[in-house]
Structure 1
């Protein structure tokens, strides 16, 4: 442990360098379970934690698919533990599309640029910087905190969160609540700063469509063409109008935005809802997709020669159902696909919704109010998914809370999996201050 009598760097003093170094470690996850993906980042994380006296546990689900864990003793170990988690893998990036190299961690115009700057090496860096400060100051969190740095979140968590929960659930003994991505960031509504705390997320279904037909010469009449069957299914699914389905979380968000904008809305009249979604600014891209189930075709494959009609054709659809509607969703997809197209699941995961109330929620709201007194905190549903899905299988109630105070001109949701991903340094510093207080009081 460091000498507590010397000047100890605050989390804000370390977070930028930690974030930059994490970005410089290429942990691109292509979803194939090939290559050493998270291992170098996991070793760096473990090194930083062990430097301040924490015992770490490194686990591999497969070669290179590496997760890291540590546990901080709290002031009151009789209380249920809190899981603070992030993931170290990132989606791939094409360097030629970027203004800077995506794995440079370059600092430009007060922002850190690079793949993972927002998804989610920013939060990983904040977690590490805050914990290092607590350890150096010999400050215990309010209760036990389990640190989890997962592998494979970007490909459905099969080799990360789900594998850990299945094979090493003991890591989370005594934990009842968790904090991770994607929430706690700010947006502007009617000139007022609003922080969106994630209390729900849609389900995840990556489904393969497999169409069958009769092979033949491309010059002949063929009424059993697999590609034609598939094209019809894709067209019907991609253009299907899913019904409006508002959960409690979405209703609470709409009520909050209506209060801020001085308007009203009616669930029976969807035209009254979209002005509230638009009022959320850049956050509308996440929130707008939570009003109903969505199904997007994302991949296609068929044939091997221009004059040969193949026997099979395949496609992949990315389906994000509203929590609790999975059975109805699948029945609808089968009807839309038609009798000549089979639906074969590739990855399936649950949706989540937890209450916007309780001691932990109150503390998160209080911490935002402490550091941004004029702000409002509202719940929202994420249209994507997080490792809270895995933890929920252990009965752990998860929230998305990566506190970032963002400038008005930063389109934060667009940075996720986007080109020129970047995060303001000032936002990281704000997040460190909020997390530091949160761990001592939650």
Structure 2
């Protein structure tokens, strides 16, 4: 028998690949070398690609038995966000296996998926079997920043590696969301990511007349900016239901026996229990001020004040949203993008989705598989540029008392061992049969 999936996940967590942003942090190379070694052990010929020294990406292709079928991409990132050991119960890079969990930064975002995939490939190699279609495996750098050392660079400079790929799977989907029905029955929902809101982060700039803080100033850049931000923060964006979100509401309502009122979507989703948080942020666009910059001394009115706004946009709504933002900001405020990546949406009704649902039901016969829209973003925004349909599908079995949504980027991140083992079986079924 090879290394257990939880041991491999622990080994990956112990490799500190913290991404501090802006090219700073610990390089992904040590993790990439471990991954490449496992791919080589499975009989593949991985390639390591780096835009900058140490910022490693690993890509390999497993040929399928039916070359007429379009290929599938399985993509996962090797970097993680920072973690302060002083805040954690166990050191965030210990990879400790304790009380049925693998602890540490990246254990659910997303070194668990890396370990699950590599475990499936080791099993295939040991048993002399493989997939029906070509499967491309990409383990990439820099997802936790802007992907310029990872997926976006690969798409721009090495697109040929993904030739023939029609669909892709990656993080943020396929995990259990236990919810109670109207009759009190426990229902296992499994969301599969079929959409992501776009990233349209903005920098706002107000200009005015600099001067002494003790004197009247009717052209104060800080005042202009603060009033504009207040209007923007208070604005209630209208409901906009994309096909993925509409299907989620419809199917979750049916599964839970919860009434669906399309004239009062907020009240409808409020009745979804644990599933509410999965949809409440994606029924409308959002504009949340996050960074303020102005002044250098308390008695000086600055001539410039700036803010950054985390702006997330649903498919088909950006032009209208920007026009409304301009109205809310008013005169004297300019805006520019600091990050701009379009929304992503794949088909809800497709053979890919059906195959994922079948794989989940093979291990959990009562699984209710539903499409959902991610409020943030993943490297799907890069790979979708190649015409690849992208899905969030990194299966895990989770118990009702496990707060999965608090794990990614949170303190005491950990993943259940049994959840990992479940994920291996589901991925094996999906990748073998799809």
Please, which runs of 5 or more residues in structure 2 have no aligned partner?
Answer: none
Mean alpha-carbon deviation: is it higher for 202-211 or for 428-437? Answer: 202-211
CA contact (8 A) 2:17 2:25 kept: no
Q: 2:309 and 2:156 mapped to 1: Cα distance?
A: 27
In the TM superposition, what is the alpha-carbon distance from 1:264 to its structure 2 partner?
2.2
CA contact (8 A) 2:187 2:256 kept: no
Q: 2:62 and 2:77 mapped to 1: Cα distance?
A: 19
Q: Would you say 1:291 and 2:276 are equivalent positions? A: no
- Choose from 207, 210, 214 the match for 1:212: 207
Q: 2:215 and 2:241 mapped to 1: Cα distance?
A: 50
In the TM superposition, what is the alpha-carbon distance from 1:145 to its structure 2 partner?
0.4
- Choose from 430, 434, 442 the match for 2:426: 434
For 1:406, the equivalent position in structure 2 comes to: 398
Q: 1:159 and 1:209 mapped to 2: Cα distance?
A: 27
In the TM superposition, what is the alpha-carbon distance from 1:271 to its structure 2 partner?
4.7
CA contact (8 A) 2:170 2:394 kept: yes
For 1:62, the equivalent position in structure 2 comes to: 52
For 1:5, the equivalent position in structure 2 comes to: none
Q: 2:399 and 2:347 mapped to 1: Cα distance?
A: 29
CA contact (8 A) 2:16 2:26 kept: no
In the TM superposition, what is the alpha-carbon distance from 1:247 to its structure 2 partner?
1.1
In the TM superposition, what is the alpha-carbon distance from 1:35 to its structure 2 partner?
4.5
Aligned structure 1 segments of 4 or more residues deviating by more than 6 angstroms:
none
Q: 1:21 and 1:209 mapped to 2: Cα distance?
A: 43
Q: TM-score w.r.t. structure 1 length?
A: 0.94
Q: 1:32 and 1:152 mapped to 2: Cα distance?
A: 10
For 2:223, the equivalent position in structure 1 comes to: 228
Mean alpha-carbon deviation: is it higher for 214-223 or for 364-373? Answer: 214-223
Q: 1:357 and 1:85 mapped to 2: Cα distance?
A: 22
CA contact (8 A) 1:36 1:63 kept: no
SS in 2 for 1:243: coil
Correspondence 1:13-412 to 2 at 5 A: 13-189=3-179, 190=181, 191-276=186-271, 278-279=272-273, 281=274, 283-412=275-404
Q: 2:178 and 2:24 mapped to 1: Cα distance?
A: 42
CA contact (8 A) 1:286 1:413 kept: no
* CA RMSD between the two structures: 1.5
SS in 1 for 2:376: coil
SS in 2 for 1:301: strand
Q: TM-score w.r.t. structure 2 length?
A: 0.95
Q: 2:126 and 2:231 mapped to 1: Cα distance?
A: 59
